[in-house]
Structure 1
C-alpha cells in the first residue's frame, strides 16, 4: 500500500515539473522580459480659462516599449483622448472638473495626479438673466425720449460720471427718479430689488428718504429723492456686458453684468443725518450696518499700535475726488498708499471677526450670486494673509476727522467722519467700497 502511494506521488510531481517547463511559461516570460512600468515625470497642470477659450493638458512619461494614454474626467474615460496631450478647442461650462491620464505599456500602468479645469464665464448666471428681464420691463414703461435718456452707450468715461455731491452740482447719467410716473417708479424699484439684496434695496430707499429729509429741513430744492438717477451703460443683456448705474446724492452703485468680474463697485455711500430719522411717518437708519461695523472695529483697533495711521484724513482717499468732483483715475494707484495699518494675521481671532463683519456689511448689500462670489474672494485664507485694517483719529465714529480703512488684495473700503452740511453742528459719513480688480466689472484701463 505504501509503495503504491509513493509511486502515485512521484508521478504527480513529474507532471508538475513538466508543466512548469512548457511553452505557456516561456511565452509569458518573453512578453515581459526587459519591460518596465511607465513613470510620469510631469503631470498635467491645473488651469483656469474663460468660457469659449482653448485649453490643453499634457503629460510627460517614460517607460519601455510603446506607451499608450487614456485621459479621464472625474475618473471616466474620454472617448478619443489617447495621446500625451488632451485639448479642448472651445471650453464649455460643463468642461470644468478634474482631469487625469492613465499611461500604460505591456508591463503595467500608472495614473497621473489630477488637474483641475476652472472655467470662468462671461455671463453671471441667473442674476444676469433676471436683471436683463427687469431692465426690459422697466424700459417698456418709458416713452421713446425717456428710453434715450436712460439707455447710454458704454464707455469708462461715462461710467465715471458720479459724485458724492447733489445732482444739481454735479450732473448724473440717466433719467431722474422725479421724472418717472408712479408706475415707472414701481418698475424701476423692481429692477433695483432684483439687482441688489434686500439690504441693498433698503439702503437705496433709505438714502433717498434721507435726501427728502434734508430737503424738508433746510436743504431746499437741491436735495430730494427726485434727484436720484438710473442709467444703463450698454444694452441690458443676459450675456453681453452692460452696467446698471444707480446714483444720486450720497449714493452710487455700479453693478456690472457679464463683465470680467461680478462686481457692483465703485460703491459710494454717505448719510446725513448720521443715524436714525423719521420721514413721512417711516423711521429709517440706512447705514446702520456699515456704521456699527466700523464703530466696533475702530474700538478694537485702538489696542494695536500698528493700526493707527500717522496722517490725518479729511475725506476719502479714493472717493469721487477726480476733476469736476467725479470719479478719479481708473485704475487707481493703490501702490501709492504706503501706510497700511495692522496686518489681519496680527489681530486676535475676535478682532479678525470684526474685520470680516465690516467687509460683509458692504458686500451683503448685493444679490446672493455676487455676494457669495466676492466674499469667497475677499475672505479666502490667501486674501486675508494680505489684508490690513487701519484707523486715524480716536477710533470712534462720533468725531469729525476720524477715518477707517480695510485693504486686501482686491477689497478696498474707507469710512470717513465728516462735518455736517445741512446740520452743520453735527457730523455725517462718507464711505467707499472699491474692488482693485473689479471696478466697473473689470473694465478699468480697457
Structure 2
C-alpha cells in the first residue's frame, strides 16, 4: 500500500512460494494421529509449500486410490481402517514423505451398552415364560444363512425363524411386547403393532389365513447375552427388524417396511396408519425433487433393488452389490437448504423407529457433514407416492434407503409400498462386511 496526503493505492497481489534450497517441497504442518469410533469420520491433513505440488496418501506404505489431496477423509470408519498412514508430497524437484501417523479405531458398541443390557433382561423374562419346546424353537445358532431367513412374502409362503405370535399365550404376548418396547422406540413399537394390524385387515378383507398378526415371528439369532453378539429378529409379511446387540455396529438393519393397505384403515375398532411418517416424508421429498433434473434416474424400478430377493425369496448374500449401481441421482449438497431438510426428515422416519441409543449413534453417522457430502437422492416416475412404479432412493457412504410404489395384491385396484433400510457396514451388526 502506497500512501500520501491525497490517499492511498494498493498494488496487485504477488505470491511468495517457499521451497527448500534444492527446490523440494517443504512440509510445514505434519499430519497427526487420530482416534475414531467405528461408523464415525477420520480426516488426516498436511500443509506443505513449494511449486506445483501433488499429494499421495498411503496406508502401510501402499498408495490409497483417489487420496491425492491435502487431506484424506475416511467415512464411515470401519474396524479394518486402523493402521499407519503417511503422505508423499511431490514436485518437479522430487518428493518428501510426511511423518507416519496412526488411526486407532474403537467399536461404537461396547459390552456395557445400556440398551444391550436392558434388552437382554427383557428377552430372558420373555424366554422364561415359554415352554421347553418354544424355548428350543426361538433360539437359533448364529450364522448369516439363518439371519437372512426373512422375506417380504407372508410366512405361509416363506418360512421364518422362531416362534409365531399366534402360538403365544396372552401372558407370553405381554412379555414379548415388553421386550419389543425395550428394544425399540415408541415409534418403532407403534409401527410394529400397526403392520401386524394391517395383516389382520388383509385377512378380514379377502386375504385369508395366509395373513394376520399370528403369522409374525420372534427369534433370537444367537443366544441372548450381555456381552456376546446376538440378534433380536422380528419378522413377518411386511416388517422385519434385525436388531443387533453387542455387534461391531449398532444397527437394526436390514429393516424392511411395507404396507397394504397403503394408508389409514380401521381394524377391531382401532384406526391405524402405520407408514404415515415414511409415506409423508417421501411424498414431500418427491415433490421437491421434481425441480432438479439431475435427481431423476434414467431407468425404471419394478421393486426395491436390495430387498429380500435372494434365492428362496429370502435376503440375498452378504455384502450386497452396491457397487453395481451406477446411476445415483443428485448429490445432497446440490439441494437447497429447505430441500436438504426434507432428505433428513425421510432418513429420520426410519431411524426414529429405534431406541434412543441406536437412533443417536446412527443419525450421527448418517447426518455428519462428511457423510452428507457424499449422499445422493433420486427418484423415477412422477415423483409421487400414489402411482404404481414410482421409486425413490437415498444413498450415503453407509446409508441405503429405497421406497417403491407397488401394485396392490389383496386390493389389486390400489397400490401398496415396499421399502428397505440397509446399512452398508452395519447390516446384521457388521457381520456382512
- The interval holding the TM-score normalised by the smaller chain is 0.7 to 0.9
What CA distance in whole angstroms lies between the structure 1 residues aligned with 2:400 and 2:37?
A: 26
1:305 to 290, 293, 301: 293
Deviation per CA, 1:157-189: give whole Å up to 9, x if none.
Answer: 000000000000000000000000000000001
* Structure 1 residue 205: Cα displacement: 0.2
Q: Say which of 188, 197, 209 aligns to 1:221.
A: 209
Deviation at residue 123 of structure 1 after TM alignment: 2.8
**Residue in 2 aligned with 1:247?**
235
- Give the match for residue 392 of structure 2: 404
User: What secondary structure sits across from 1:338 in the alignment?
Assistant: coil
Q: Which runs of 5+ in 2 are unaligned?
A: 1-27, 39-101
The answer to whether structure 1 residue 151 and structure 2 residue 144 are counterparts is no
What is the deviation of 1:329? 1.9
1:265 touches 1:439 (CA, 8 Å); kept in 2? yes
Structure 1 residue 269 corresponds to structure 2 residue 260 = no
TM-score (norm 1): 0.75
Question: Which residue in the other structure is 2:279 paired with?
Answer: 291
Cα RMSD of the aligned pairs, angstroms, is 1.8
Deviation (angstroms), 1:403: 0.2
CA contact (8 A) 1:124 1:262 kept: no
Q: Which residue of 2 aligns with 1:434?
A: 422
Task: State the match for 2:378 in structure 1.
Answer: 390
What's 2:186 paired with? 198
In 2, distance between residues paired with 1:304 and 1:48?
36
How far apart in 2 are the matches of 1:327 and 1:124? Answer: 31
Give 1:233's aligned residue.
Answer: 221
Whole-angstrom distance in 1 between the partners of 2:37 and 2:262: 45
Alignment: residue pair count: 343
After superposition, where does 1:81-160 map in structure 2 within 5 Å? 119-120=106-107, 121-123=109-111, 125-160=113-148
State the partner residue of 1:378.
366
Deviation at 1:125, TM superposition (A): 1.1
Give the Cα–Cα distance (whole angstroms) in 2 for the partners of residues 331 and 117 of structure 1: 24
> For residues 303 and 229 of structure 1, do their structure 2 counterparts lie closer, same or farther at Cα, with a shift above 3 Å needed?
same
Secondary structure of 1:203's aligned partner:
helix
- More helix as a share of residues: 1
Scaled by the length of structure 2, what TM-score is found?
0.77
Matched-pair contact (CA < 8 Å) for 1:124–1:257: no
Quote the residue 2:270 is aligned against: 282
Partner of 1:162: 150
Structure label with greater radius of gyration: 1
* 1:133 counterpart SS class: helix
